[in-house]
Amino acid sequence: METLKKVLIGVFVLLAFQLHSQKSYRTAFYKSYEYEKAGSYASALKELISVYNANDYFTNIRMGWLYYLNKQYTESVKYYEKSIALKPYAIEAKFGLVKPLSATENWERVKIQYQQILKIDPQNTLANYWLGVIYYNRKNYLNAVKLFEKVVNLYPLDYDSVIMLAWTKLNLGKSGEAKILFNHALTLRPNDKSSLEGLKLIK
């Protein structure tokens, strides 16, 4: 009987500790949100550091975001990478990692992140579009056109994708298709300078 009492006491103590830890964890997150709204990112980070658990996805991805906002890009990358390691199929963490990598103009690693996202979600429009932009800027029009076509097929009224596809087609020497797309872009955005410029090059 005495042994059973000790076991029960131990269980109650453990539960009380877990409840206290959970409350502290939530409080730290709530405070971090308040500090973020106020633009005090260092204070928001301090709250999370007080409850940091290396195996907790939520804490790591939140710290990655806050370090990014605080322009501490190396630290941001580190915590986003930890998030990805904890949940390899979480697309949000990969999109998060793109932010500090873009801020430091590490375009090759940005490209890899978009490719990783598309392995998980081939129809992801953001990843398709921005990977297309990277290829376009590198004058790799053959790869760019496939990505822009996919987005335009999914969202025919998306101006940004239509105009990028138009310019890509023009650079591939497909003037007829480019003309149709530039005119479509003009319908979506009247007097659009980019569309008018493209049409002038075709005439």
CATH at residue 52: 1.25.40.10
| Same structural domain, 135 and 57 | no
| Same structural domain, 105 and 44 | yes
Specify the number of domains making up the chain: 2
Record the pTM.
0.85
Name the percent of the chain lying above pLDDT 70.
89
| Same structural domain, 110 and 129 | no
| Same structural domain, 113 and 166 | no
> Which domain does 193 fall in, by range?
125-203
The arithmetic mean of pLDDT across residues 112-127, rounded, is 97
| Same structural domain, 134 and 195 | yes
pLDDT at position 6 is 43
Contact present, 48 and 62 (Cβ < 8 Å): yes
Q: What is the mean pLDDT of the chain?
A: 90
In this predicted structure, the answer to whether residue 117 has a pLDDT above a threshold of 70 is: yes
Q: Answer yes or no: is 188 within a domain.
A: yes
Q: Answer yes or no: is 15 within a domain.
A: no
Number of residues that make up the chain: 203
Q: How far apart are the first and last CA of the chain?
A: 96
**Residue with the larger pLDDT of the pair 5 and 166:** 166
In this predicted structure, the answer to whether residue 62 has a pLDDT above a threshold of 90 is: yes
Q: How far apart are CA 48 and CA 65, in angstroms?
A: 12
Q: Answer yes or no: is 17 within a domain.
A: no
In this predicted structure, the answer to whether residue 124 has a pLDDT above a threshold of 60 is: yes
Residue position matching structure tokens 């042994």: 3
pLDDT digits (tens, 9 = 90+) for 181-202: 999 999 999 999 999 999 999 9
| Same structural domain, 116 and 145 | no
Q: Answer yes or no: is 14 within a domain.
A: no
pLDDT digits (tens, 9 = 90+) for 69-85: 999 999 999 999 999 99
Contact present, 51 and 28 (Cβ < 8 Å): yes
